[in-house]
């Protein structure tokens, strides 16, 4: 039976206060309060006829490289234009506190942004890659690019072609993200599994729990009956396996949790 609450309850405060090894899986919702759209929101501008799921595929990039490339370059500029929010900061503070007591808080994120890092946290793994690095579709050679010249707050009216790879001259560049149908980085997935298996508290923050295999990671907590706590304003695909579901924005609820951990 899931216990739902709009603020942290005494039960959750006790779990937080006694936890020494915490594992946190984050999704797009933790960056929503910074102004980064989640994946279930309608797209705007050049992409208004497409869902994020239509665009985040190899097929979409092969069919219309400029459309998909520009989507990523524009999202990169948006992420660079926004700041971490109190949810990112709370996790960074809690991680620092636990480390000072020889504990650990491991952050595993599905997000391709760098807002956890910019809040001062160390991220154990980016399961779906990073929007800031690029590689050739043919030879996989990494490539350095200048920052995109878009205004992150207004989608551009024209698309641009992805640049050619200078290393092999056959392929074009793509973002180092994981599209549907592609494998997740093995090391990040294994590290995430190990962190969840060895945690004494697992938090699932701001994810719809729709996208596999990341959405199955929290289930590993059930092997040792480790308490599972969800932080999300809405019910998700994972709600029924949770011990507690806190219904509200992560900026508010994670700040309450870090207070309770002191
Ligand atoms: C707030 C908030 C606030 C709002 N505070 N919260 C098993 C069954 C069925 C299908 C599959 C399966 N296994 C694999 C698949 C296929 C597929 C899949 O999962 N499909 C589903 C659609 C069903 N998975 C894959 O293809 C994966 N690869 C794979 O499995 O490889 C093995 C394989 C290879 C070949 C053949 C077969 C298997 C790869 C998945 C890659 C996902 N990539 C993306 C794009 C990354 C690049 C980019 O950013 O563009 O990752 S898709 C997108 O979804 C992105 C996200 O990381 C990911 C998860 O989304 P997330 O974070 O949950 O966001 P939202 O928007 O869904 O939810 C936001 C939440 O925030 C909501 O709940 C809000 O309520 C909440 N919220 N405000 C807190 N203030």
Please report the domains of the chain, with CATH numbers, ordered by start residue: 1-35+84-128+184-262 (3.40.50.1220), 37-81+129-177 (3.30.1600.10)
Q: Is 229 left (phi over 0), alpha (psi -120 to 50) or beta?
A: beta
pLDDT of 2: 66
CA of 210 to the centre of ligand 1 (A): 6
Expressed in angstroms and rounded, the spacing between residue 60 Cα and the centre of ligand 1 is: 16
| Rounded distance from Cα 212 to ligand 1 centre (Å) | 6
Instruction: Tell me the percentage of the chain whose pLDDT exceeds 90.
Output: 89
Whether the CB-CB separation of 204 and 216 falls below 8 Å is answered with: no
200: exposed, middle or buried (Cβ count in 10 Å: 0-12, 13-18, 19+): middle
Please identify which of the residues 116, 126, 128, 134 carries the catalytic annotation: 128
Q: Whose CA is nearest to atom 2 of ligand 1?
A: 29
Annotation says 170 is catalytic: no
To test the pocket of ligand 1, the residue of 107, 109, 206, 257 to mutate (highest count of ligand atoms within 8 Å of its CB) is 206
Look up residue 228 and give its two tokens.
């599972």
| Sheet with strand 173-177: strands edge to edge | 142-143, 129-136, 173-177
Give mean pLDDT, residues 62-76.
Answer: 97
Per-residue model confidence (pLDDT) at position 153? 87
Closest CA to 26 of 223, 260, 215: 215
- So what's the pLDDT on residue 256? 96
For ligand 1, what atom is nearest to the CA of residue 55? 50
Distance CA(177)–CA(121), nearest Å, equals 21
Q: Report, as an integer, the average pLDDT of 27-54.
A: 91
Residue 91, token pair as written in the block: 């996790």
Q: Which residues of 44-67 are buried (b: 16+ CB within 10 A; e: fewer)?
A: eebbeebebeebbeeebbeeebeb
Reported as a single tens digit per residue, the pLDDT across 164-180 is 999 998 999 999 999 99
């Amino acid at each position: 039976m899931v216990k739902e609450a709009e603020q942290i309850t005494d039960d959750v405060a006790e779990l937080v206060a006694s936890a020494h090894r915490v594992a946190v899986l984050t999704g797009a919702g933790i960056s929503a309060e910074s102004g980064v759209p989640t994946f279930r929101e309608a797209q705007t501008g050049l992409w208004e006829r497409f869902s994020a799921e239509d665009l985040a595929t190899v097929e979409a990039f092969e069919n219309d490289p400029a459309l998909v490339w520009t989507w990523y370059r524009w999202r990169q500029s948006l992420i660079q234009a926004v700041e971490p929010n109190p949810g990112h900061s709370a996790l960074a503070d809690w991680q620092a506190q636990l480390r000072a007591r020889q504990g650990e808080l491991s952050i595993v994120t599905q997000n391709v942004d760098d807002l956890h890092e910019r809040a001062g946290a160390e991220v154990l793994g980016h399961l779906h890659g990073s929007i800031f690095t690029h590689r050739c579709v043919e030879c996989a050679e990494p490539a350095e690019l200048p920052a995109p010249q878009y205004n992150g707050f207004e989608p551009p009216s024209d698309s641009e072609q992805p640049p050619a790879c200078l290393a092999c001259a056959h392929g074009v560049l793509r973002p180092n993200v994981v599209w549907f149908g592609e494998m997740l980085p093995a090391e990040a997935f294994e590290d995430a599994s190990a962190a969840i298996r060895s945690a004494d508290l697992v938090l699932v923050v701001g994810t719809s729990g729709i996208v596999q295999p990341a959405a199955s990671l929290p289930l590993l907590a059930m092997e040792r009956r480790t308490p599972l706590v969800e932080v999300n304003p809405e019910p998700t695909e994972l709600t029924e396996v949770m011990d507690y579901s806190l219904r509200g924005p992560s900026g508010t609820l994670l700040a309450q949790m870090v207070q309770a951990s002191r």
